[in-house]
Structures are given as structure tokens and as C-alpha cells.
Amino acid sequence: MNPDLKKLTDGELLTRYTDGEEAAFREIVNRYKNGLYAFLRLFLNRHELVEDVFQETFLQLFSSRDSFDRNRPLRPWLFTIAANKAKDALRKWQRTNAITIGTMIDSEDLSFDDILNTVTSDGTMPYEKLQKSETAVRVRQIIADMPENLREILILAYFHGFSYKQMAEILSIPIGTVKSRLHTAVGRFAKEWKASIGSTETK
Amino acid sequence: MSPLNNEQKQLLFDYCIGLTSQKETAEAEALISASKEAAKIHSKLKAAISPLDNLEPEPCPDDLVERTILRVNNLADSSQRQLRQLLASEQTRNVVTKSQLWWNLSKIAAAAAVFMLILGVLVPALGFARQKYRKQRCQTQMGSIFQGLSNYISDHDGQSPAVATTAGAPWWWVGDQGKENHSNTRHIYLLPKGGYVEELSNFVCPGCKGEKPLKLNDSQIKRLKDFPSRRYVTYSFQIRCHRTGSGKLLCRKVLMADWNPVFEQLPEDFSRQLQLQLNRKLLTLNSINHNRRGQNVLFGDGSVEFLKTRFISISDDIFTLQDTDIYQGCEVPSCETDSFLAP
């Protein structure tokens, strides 16, 4: 592989690819493959859907290579495409399998104080007793069971470090909604985690 | 220390999630070290979120990358192939032959026919809309004249605008600025002269064809005794009978209407005698203002109606006098029930 490609910006790589240099596209895929895969793996939690959406995202990039504004950062754009395609894939899968993976939440968003009350209502959460692998399985399950709109925001914020502004653009919602939804997502996770630990202790 | 405000709590939350900038991180750390409450909230939040750190990110499988690149390359190849096919088909496309030329010409002719058809539909429709607009504008103008008339009457102890005339004065001398009051329009000219109708153009029907009059300023209007000429007034006004008791506005009394078709052609030289014999055509024509389709008529109650005939009752033609076939331009109705608008 041409080592010079690693130094190029995303926009320059796209230009090179449009000019016929196939390796440039491979470099873009390599740059974002792990981030996108991790996002989809956590958001979709179904292997076959993850692979489809991963491929569809890069096919969309290929189709839009001429119209994409090279001055815009590529990463948020790729995550926007991935998030939209993932939601479409989930809905399609739910229609054919008649199973609810985690619906959109319609309930009222929690305020910051509600979150604090949730996370500080009792003492420590003694999950240290659990093996790390077991903890990971439980966390993954809790995230998978969360409503779709809370799940996506928690993943984008905590695991991918997108700013509020970027998340607002990726999800096409106002920044205020992003903030309140992230509060709700964290509160929801803390509550479910406590319930999960509690059930372990009572066993 | 005072309790934390919402902004500080949000800062702590963002710090725990990892959404703070370098500057905000420093602020959050300072806050945690300075405030026990902040430190407590931070430790609780961190404890609540920390299970998430147990998730190890799964790396993307290499074979998925390869399959993705393969799909993209296939798509690129098929796009190229389609492009090549398109180009090849364009290059091998036959040039226009004679028969195709005729075919193309016939298509142009068909398009032209459709265009003409659309024009044929649109032009009358637009013409109709224009006429309707002019009719409504004319009604609005009559309404504003009535408003001026009402104001004049209320300012003058219930008396309609009137100038002193002698019996037998020729009411058709529109535009005559002599000392004696002859023209029937001199009465109504008191309205623009006194400022009761601000725009002189309100006396020209928008549906009336012909050269538009020049705009006069206030001082010019005040110096004149009558409208400058017939071009400035294309309406006909009520000629009162000598036995009229008062100038009060009666509901069904006709005050004015579009230009009387009987008196469209009058001598320009006022020294000439007017001798006008009614004939069948003059008895049936509608006003020229609205293409002979009818005329707007202003009644004493301020209402304006567009009448398709000249009759406001079975026997009362607003443009002629009862039992009069020859006009010399000084006739007046014999009774109040005979409406007569002139010139």
C-alpha cells in the first residue's frame, strides 16, 4: 500500500479515488472501519445486520463521491449514513421477525437532577465481584435492551466521543434534545445496571 | 460553599462522559477539587458510567473489509460498463434520416398545435379575468364617489352638491368653463374641487378605452369650474326633475352609472345645436365602459350593481327619458320616478 496515502486528508483521498486510484478508497475504509463496526455492533447487536449496514454505508460513500463536499469532515457524515441505514435495517428486520429489539422511547426526558438522583440514590454498585467478561455481556445486553433513540446517543457520545453539535447533526435533532436524551440514556443505563446487579446479589 | 448550579452540574456530567474541551476539562477538575459536592457527584456519576468501560471495542473483521471493497469495485465496474454502453449506443445511433426529419417536423407541428390550443384557452380566460377586475375597480371608484357625496351632504346641512342653473341649460356642455353653469357634471365637480373625492381619476372608469387623461394637481382642480373635458369623466350622472323636494339620498334613486351610450357622440363645438333622435340601436345599447356587456349603477343607498340591461324597473330606462325620442341636451325628467343619467 502506498504509505503516502496515510498522510492525505479524507477529501484528498476521495479526490484521488475519483481520479481512478482504487487504493485511496481502501485507505478511507481502513480509517473508519473499526469505529463504524464498533458502533454498528453495539447499536444493532445482530451480526448479519451489522455486516449489511457496514457495506451499505461505504457503498453510499461510493455513490456520493462526486457530490460529497470535500471540505466537510467525513467521519460525522459516515456515522450519519450508518445510523440512518442501521435504523432502516432494524425496522425492516422487526417487520419480518415481529420482534421488538428496543423501541423508540416516547416517555418524558429526565432532567439532570433526576439522573443524579438515580445514580446517587444508594451506595456503591458492587460489580467488582463480577468477572470482566460477565460484566461486558451484561452491559451489552442492557444497551441492546435500551430504546433505539437512547441507545444511539449513548454509543455516539460515550464510545465515539462526538460533540453535542456533531450528534445533533448526525441525528438531525436540536442540541437541547441531544443533551436531555443523553441524560435520560445515562439514567436509564444506571437504573438497569443497578437492577441487574441487584438480581445477581439476590440469587 | 453554595450548592452547584445547573451549569456546573452539566459540566460535571460532560466531564464524566468525556464531552468536555480542554478548557472545560480544566474547569471541571478545578471544580471537583474545590467543592466537596462536586467531588461527590463526580464520583457517583463515574461509578454509574464505569461499567460501560468493560466493553472492549470489537475490531472490524478483515474479511468484511475485503467483501466491502469487492462490492464497491463491482458497483464501480458496473457503473463504468453502463457508461461505456451508453457512450457506444450514442455513437452508433443513426443520424436523422429524411423520414425521421418528417417525423421530427410532425412532432414540432403537434407541439405547436398544443401550444396554440393552450393559448386559445388561456387568452379568453385572462381577458375575462381582466374584465372582471375592471368591473370591480369601477365599483370601488363609484363607492368612493358615494363616500365623498355623503361627506359633502353631511357638511352642507343635508344638501347635495349643486350649482345654480337656469331652466333649459344645456347639460351636455361637459368641459365648458364659462361663467354660467350649464353642464350637469358641474354639480358633481364640487366633490373633487372641495376635496371630497381626492383622486380625479376616480371619475374615469377603468374599463373605458381611449387616451388616459393627464393628472391635475390640487390648484389646477380648484381653479376649474368643471371637469376639463369628457376624457376626465366617463360616467353619467343623475339629472333631477325640477320638482325635487330635497337633495336627500333616497335608497333606490339612481345617482350615477357608466357612460350613457345615447350621448357618446356629442358635438365638440358647444355653439352647435344638439339634435339627437333615438333609434332602435341607441335604445338597446349598454355602456361602452364595459364592452357593452352592462353597466355599473350607483344607487342612493351607496350600493353599486352591475346591470346587464339599462332598466331598473319594467319601464324605467336609466339612459332615456320617458316619452322622449328627440334630445336637444336640456331635457329633464318630469317626475322623480323617471331616472335619467346624462350626458
* Cα A62 to Cα A52: distance, rounded to the nearest angstrom: 15
> The whole model's pTM is what?
0.51
Closest chain A residue to the Cα of B52, Cα to Cα: A139
Residue B153 lies inside a defined structural domain of this protein: yes
Q: Same domain for B148 and B269?
A: yes
Q: Enter the DSSP assignment of A146.
A: S
Q: Same domain for B26 and B159?
A: no
Closest chain B residue to the Cα of A167, Cα to Cα: B19
Question: Partners of B238 in the beta sheet?
Answer: B341
Range of the domain at B10: 6-50
Q: Same domain for B134 and B237?
A: yes
Taking 60 as the threshold, does the pLDDT of residue A121 lie above it?
Answer: no
* Cα B136 to Cα B222: distance, rounded to the nearest angstrom: 29
Closest chain A residue to the Cα of B38, Cα to Cα: A116
To the nearest whole number, what is the mean pLDDT of chain A? 82
Residue B267 lies inside a defined structural domain of this protein: yes
Residue B93 lies inside a defined structural domain of this protein: no
pLDDT at B4: 82
Taking 50 as the threshold, does the pLDDT of residue A203 lie above it?
Answer: no
pLDDT at B249: 53
Q: Same domain for B147 and B258?
A: yes
Q: Which has the closest alpha carbon to B343: B150, B187, B163, B138?
A: B187
Residue B313 lies inside a defined structural domain of this protein: yes
Higher pLDDT, A132 or B42: B42
Taking 60 as the threshold, does the pLDDT of residue A104 lie above it?
Answer: no
End-to-end CA separation in angstroms for chain B:
96
Closest chain B residue to the Cα of A17, Cα to Cα: B76
C-beta of residue B207 within 8 angstroms of C-beta of residue B290: yes
Residue B95 lies inside a defined structural domain of this protein: no
Long-range contacts of A152-156 (CB under 8 A, 24+ apart): A152/A43, A152/A83, A152/A87, A153/A178, A153/A181, A153/A182, A153/A185, A154/A182, A154/A185, A154/A186, A154/A189, A155/A39, A155/A42, A155/A43, A156/A39, A156/A79, A156/A83
Closest partner CB to B75 (pick from A38, A62, A138): A62
Taking 70 as the threshold, does the pLDDT of residue A108 lie above it?
Answer: no
pLDDT at A109: 58
Residue B89 lies inside a defined structural domain of this protein: no
* Cα B229 to Cα B213: distance, rounded to the nearest angstrom: 9
Q: Same domain for B138 and B225?
A: yes
Does A186 sit within 8 Å of B17, measured CB to CB? yes
Look up residue A71 and give its amino acid. N
Q: Same domain for B144 and B273?
A: yes
Does A26 sit within 8 Å of B69, measured CB to CB? yes
Averaging pLDDT over each range in B108-122, B167-181, B242-256, B273-287, which range is the top one?
A: B108-122
- Residue A202: band (very low, low, confident or very high) from pLDDT cuts 50, 70, 90: very low
Query: What percent of chain B is modeled with pLDDT above 90?
Result: 24
Q: Same domain for B35 and B133?
A: no
Higher pLDDT, A131 or A17: A17
pLDDT at B6: 84
Which is it for strands B326-327 and B276-277: parallel, antiparallel or unpaired? antiparallel
How far B77 CA sits from the closest chain A CA (Å)? Answer: 12
Taking 90 as the threshold, does the pLDDT of residue A7 lie above it?
Answer: no
Q: For an interface test with B, which of A1, A22, A28, A29 has the most B Cβ atoms less than 10 Å from its Cβ?
A: A29
pLDDT at B279: 87
B55 inside 8 A of chain A by CB: yes
Residue B211 lies inside a defined structural domain of this protein: yes
Helix axes A22-44, B62-92, angle to 10 degrees: 130
**Domains of chain A listed by start with CATH number:** 3-97 (1.10.1740.10), 112-202 (1.10.10.10)
pLDDT at B261: 92
Residue B85 lies inside a defined structural domain of this protein: no
Q: Same domain for B162 and B28?
A: no
pLDDT at B251: 56
Closest partner CB to B19 (pick from A37, A138, A164): A164
Chain B from 266 to 285: CB within 8 A of any A CB:
none
The number of domains in chain B is 2
End-to-end CA separation in angstroms for chain A:
55
Query: What percent of chain B is modeled with pLDDT above 70?
Result: 94
Closest partner CB to A116 (pick from B41, B51, B59): B41
